[in-house]
Amino acid sequence: MFGIIRPCRNRLSPELRESWLAHLCGLCLALRDDHGHLARVVTNYDGLVISALVEAQAGRSRRSAGPCALRGMQSADVAVGTGARLAASVSLVLASAKVGDHVADGDGVFARAPMRGVGRQVARRWAAQASETGLDLGFDTAVLVDAVRRQSSVEAAAGPGSSVLTVTEPTETAAGEAVAQTAVLAGRPGNAAPLREVGRLFGRLAHLLDAVEDLAEDRASGAWNPLVATGTTLEEARRLCEDAALGIRLAMAEVEFADDRLVHVLLAHEVRESIRRAFGDPHSHTPPPPPGWQPAPGMYPPAQPGPHGPHAGHVPPPGPVPPPSAPGHGGPPEPPKGGKKGRRGNEPPPPGSGLWCWPKLKQPPVTRGAFLGCLAVLYQCGTCQYCCRDPYPGPFSGKPREAWCNGCDCGPNCDCNCDCCGCDCNC
């Protein structure tokens, strides 16, 4: 449950965007208030869905927060209450499991015995903090911890011919119980059953999408991947994801909400967008040609010129990009007068310059251990990289991440004007 829901600012109305950021900041501050500043590193997009679900059922609960670097040193109203605290508890359990996996696999800095001890200590502390908050809310996080611990044995038993859903079952169970608890906190116990189904299918989706996004890297490194281990094709994985997205929508229709606009966007539209982002758009044009492919002579007739140049349906053939001096190639655009090349005076520096020269974006991504990763988190927070550097490297994974404020991953078929008011989910 780390990062499959990443709403673009253009896909949210101003009111819903403000509400989404209120839950994100509320989760971060709940982690700080209950568990200290270090716990804020586990803030993630998907965890705030828990907070949003509680508010959608119980009504808005906000407080005013002071200036923050990630908000451009501006104050804001942030989500507060049991929803934000439950989201913090769930995020800590998942982060504890993630650190534990890195320690068990000896990844990066955890390959050394002293750092493995530090990693185990951090994982145990986060698990204990999650349990403390959960018990205060009447939620036993043991069910989450048990599901996480079973994951390694489930993966060890999986092999060619096994169902990939057997591998995703622990994630489904953990997510289902966490989401069902939102109904209890909101005082709507009748919502628990359909919300448990929402969480279960969301957990399945998160696990499968994570496997798809890591597939190429895992194959190159030889790391374990559920799709490779079970022989599941990408077509089958996509079918399972589409079925899960449909199931989430159907289960959400059975839940009684006070205001479901934001959670509808996150769990209906943004879930669909996450599938498109991982697998590609099935309605896009033909796939790109293989490396080294060149068109045969006469395969592409020249475009017929019209009053405004080549006709609109003309698609140029793939091939090498002509040099700037080639006929018909206008060369690079002239830099704007009175300013630096490629920038306007009020634009932030491009990714990787100035205070953003570290950490660097590298391909393939370079992972960092616990110590350097924590330093990267603190430095990136202080220099507003999470908010304004787009893309910025993940502090631990090194993978490109979208900026919270500037990111836009709208596809060619995206309707950026949809605010989901009265939406029937047929778009």
pLDDT tens string 151-186: 889 998 999 999 999 999 999 999 999 999 999 999
- For 32-41, how does the pLDDT look when each residue is reduced to its tens digit (9 = 90+)? 998 888 888 8
Domain membership flag for residue 244: yes
Structural domain contains residue 128 = yes
Please, are residues 84 and 51 in contact by the beta-carbon 8 Å criterion? yes
What pLDDT score was predicted for residue 2? 52
Q: Are residues 239 and 94 in the same domain?
A: yes
Same domain, 157 and 269: yes
Looking at the structure, do residues 255 and 390 belong to the same domain, yes or no? no
Spatial CA neighbour of 268 closest among 91, 418, 72: 418
- Per-residue confidence (pLDDT) for residue 144, from 0 to 100: 87
- Is the predicted pLDDT of residue 342 greater than 50, yes or no? no
Residue 39 in domain: no
Q: Are residues 266 and 358 in the same domain?
A: no
Q: Are residues 88 and 198 in the same domain?
A: yes
pLDDT tens-place string over residues 343-399: 444 444 555 556 677 788 888 888 887 778 778 887 887 676 776 777 888 888 888
Query: For residue 268, what are the contacts with CB-CB under 8 A and spacing of at least 6?
Result: 245, 248, 249, 252, 420, 423, 425
Is the pLDDT at 422 greater than 50? The verdict is: no
- Quick: pLDDT tens for 242-270: 999 999 999 999 999 999 999 999 999 99
Mean pLDDT confidence for 399-412: 60
Which two three-digit tokens encode residue 251? 């289960």
In the chain, the percentage of residues whose pLDDT exceeds 90 is 35
Same domain, 224 and 370: no
Whether residue 341 is contained in a domain is answered as: no
Boundaries of domain holding 388: 354-401
Amino acid letter, residue 348: P
Q: Is the separation of the CB atoms in 22 and 76 below 8 Å?
A: yes
User: What are the tokens at 190?
Assistant: 């009748």
Q: How many domains does the chain contain in total?
A: 2
Long-range CB contacts for residues 143-147, cutoff 8 Å, separation at least 24:
143/173, 143/174, 143/177, 144/90, 144/93, 144/94, 144/174, 144/177, 144/178, 145/93, 145/97, 147/171, 147/173, 147/174, 147/177
125 and 265 both lie in a single domain: yes
The phi and psi torsions of 188 (rounded to 5 degrees) equal -125, 70
pLDDT at 141 > cutoff 60: yes
Q: What three-state secondary structure class fits 400? A: strand
Q: Is 375 helix (H, G, I), strand (E, B) or coil?
A: helix
User: What would the mean pLDDT of 6-16 be, rounded to a whole number?
Assistant: 82
Task: Tell me the average pLDDT across 284-289.
Answer: 45
- Does the residue 239 lie in any domain? yes
Per the model's pLDDT, the better-predicted residue between 7 and 300 turns out to be: 7
Q: Do 240 and 372 sit in the same domain of this protein?
A: no
Q: Does a structural domain hold residue 292?
A: no
Distance, in Å, from the CA atom of 398 to the CA atom of 391, rounded to the nearest integer, reads: 11
Asked if residue 345 is part of any domain, the answer here is no
CA-atom Rg of the chain in angstroms: 23
pLDDT of residue 353: 55
> CA 22, CA 79: separation in Å to the nearest integer?
5
pTM over 0.75? The answer is no
Q: Which two tokens stand for residue 262?
A: 């934001």
- Residue 261 within a domain: yes
Rounded to whole angstroms, the Cα distance separating 214 from 224 reads 10
Which residues share a beta bridge with 74?
68
Tell me if residue 146 falls in helix, strand or coil: helix
